[in-house]
Homo-oligomer: A and B are copies of this chain.
Amino acid sequence: MARSKAVSGFPEWLPEGRMVERQVLDALRRVFELHSYVEIETRAVEPLGDLLRKGETSKEVYVLGRLQDEGASFSDDTLALHFDLTVPLARYVLGNAGRLDFPFKRCQIQKVWRGERPQQGRFREFTQADVDVIGRDTLPFTYEVEVAAVMAEALRALPIGQVRLSVNNRKVCEAFYRGLGLTDVESVLRWIDKLAKIGPVLVGEGLESSGLTPAQSRACLELASLNADDDGITALVSGLASRLGVGSALLETGLSELGELMLSLAEDAPGVARADLSVARGLDYYTGSVYETTLIGAPELGSICSGGRYDNLVSSGKQVFPGVGLSIGVTRLVSHMLGSVGVSRSVPACVWIAVVDEEHRSESRTVARALRARGIPCDVSPNAAKYGKQIAAADRRGIPFVWFPGEDGEADQVKDIRSGEQVEASSESWSPPDGDLVPGLVGV
C-alpha cells in the first residue's frame, strides 16, 4: 500500500511515546487494583438512541454504517461509537445487575470517540481511564471520598509534577441558589462553569441576562469566589449564607459533606485537595461532590481528571443505582507528558545478543532462551556483522548490554555499553542491575 496521510484528531505515538503511555496506563491500573476496582471493558458501540438520550452530545457522535448502507438514514438502533465510558457503564450495570456485587467498584480504560471538529488539544479518538462506584438503592458518602483519593494517588504515581484536586458540592450550590430565590439551578451552574474562561464581569452579565437581579448575580459570584485548602471552607460558606439570610437542611448536608471530604482527603492525599466553590462541571446529572484536577505546572491543559456524584443516571425504573466517579483524559495527559518525558531505550530488550557468524546463530538463540526463562528481555542480532556494528545497533536502541557468546568453549562475555566494562558471564546466572531490567521513564 502507498503512504497515507495522518488523520486529524486521531493521534498515534512513535514506539517511545507508546512506552510512556503504557507506563502511565500500567501505573493507573496498579493503583486502581490496589483499591480493588475491578476492570471491565464494554463494547465500543451503543445504539444511537441510547447515546442521544444524553442530549447535548449529539453532534459529537460517530455513527457506524456498512458499505451496503451507503446513503441510509439513521434510527435509534443504528450503532454509534461511545463518546465516554459513563453511558456504557450505566447500560452494563443495568444489564448485569443480578450478577454484580454492590457497591460495584469498577475501573475502565478504553478508547472513546467524538466526532467534533478537531482543535488544538482536542482529540477525536482518545483514551479515558475511569473509576466509578455504583450502589444499589443507596451509595454511602464514603465513596465520594474514596474515588477522589484513588485518583489523587493514581496521578501522584505519574511523573507529572504536583496536581491540584479542586472539589465542590452540588448540594451547597443548589441550596444557596434556591435560598436566593432562584429556581433554574442548572442555568446558573452553566454560567459559573465559564468563570475561568471569561471572567466574573461577563459571567455576571450573563447571569443577569438570564433573569437574575444584580444582587442575586453578585451573591452567586461571591459564593464562587470562596475557596480553602481545608475544611475551613464550611465556615466561609456558612458566613456568607447567614449574611445573605440563606439557609436550609440541604445546605447543611452539602457543607457537612464538603467538610468531611476535605478532612478525609487531608489524610489520604495530603496537600492535594482544595475546596473551590467555582467548580461547577458542565454535566447536569451531578448531585453531590464534583471534582476537577489541574497540573500546577500546566494550568493551560485544563482539567485532566474530572467527575462527580450522580444519583439518577442509572435507573431501571424500579430500581435506582446511585454512583460516583472520575475520569482521566489519558491521551491529553500523555500528549503533554511527551514534551518532557521519554524512555531510557526504544525497545524492551535489556540485552543484545551478538551473533558470531550465521553458523553459530543457534548458540546466540540458546543464550536468549536462557535469559528469557529468567525474565530478562533480550534480542538477538539480525546479522553477523563485525562486533563494532552489532554494538552500534544495540547502542542506537539504547540497549545497555551486549552479550558475546564464547567461541570454541570459551566463556561468554557481557559488555555494559555505557561504561565499556566487559566481564565473563553465564546466561544461567547473570542478571542486570534492577534499574536496567525494563525501560524506565527519563526526562528529555
By a beta-carbon cutoff of 8 Å, the part of chain A in contact with chain B is 1-4, 6-7, 10-15, 18-19, 21-22, 33-47, 50, 53-54, 58-59, 61-74, 79, 81, 87, 90-92, 94-96, 99-101, 103, 105-106, 111, 113, 115, 125, 135, 140, 142-143, 146, 264, 267-268, 313-317, 346-349, 361-362, 365-366, 369, 372, 375-380, 382-383, 393, 396-397, 438
Contact = CB atoms under 8 A, between A and B. Distances in A.
A283 B314 CA distance: 46
Contacts of A22: 39
Q: How many copies does the complex hold?
A: 2
Contacts of A314: 1
Nearest to A33: B348
Contact of A348 (B14, B37, B316): B37
Contact of A3 (B1, B41, B316, B346): B316
Contact of A267 (B2, B15, B143, B365): B365
Contacts of A369: 268
A3 B43 contact: no
A39 B64 contact: no
Given A38-B19, A91-B1, A68 B59 contact: yes
A379 B33 CA distance: 10
A99 B14 contact: yes
A135 B383 CA distance: 12
Contact of A18 (B41, B53, B100, B361): B41
Q: Please provide the 3 A-B residue pairs with the shortest distance between their CB atoms, ordered closest to farther.
A: A36-B349, A10-B43, A36-B379
A68 to B, nearest CB: 7
A293 to B, nearest CB: 20
A211 to B, nearest CB: 31
Which of A79, A264, A382 counts the most B-chain CB atoms under 10 A from its CB? A382
A139 B393 CA distance: 16
Contact of A36 (B41, B43, B58, B348): B348
Contact of A43 (B12, B15, B33, B67): B12
Contacts of A87: 1
B74 A73 contact: no
A318 B377 CA distance: 34
A7 B94 contact: no
A1 B50 contact: yes
A383 B34 contact: no
Contacts of A1: 50, 53-54, 87, 90-91, 94, 313-315
Contact of A59 (B66, B100, B377): B66
B377 A125 contact: no
Contacts of A18: 38-41
A73 B70 contact: yes
Contacts of A11: 43
A440 to B, nearest CB: 14
A79 B108 CA distance: 26
Contacts of A68: 59
A327 B370 CA distance: 25
A41 B59 contact: no
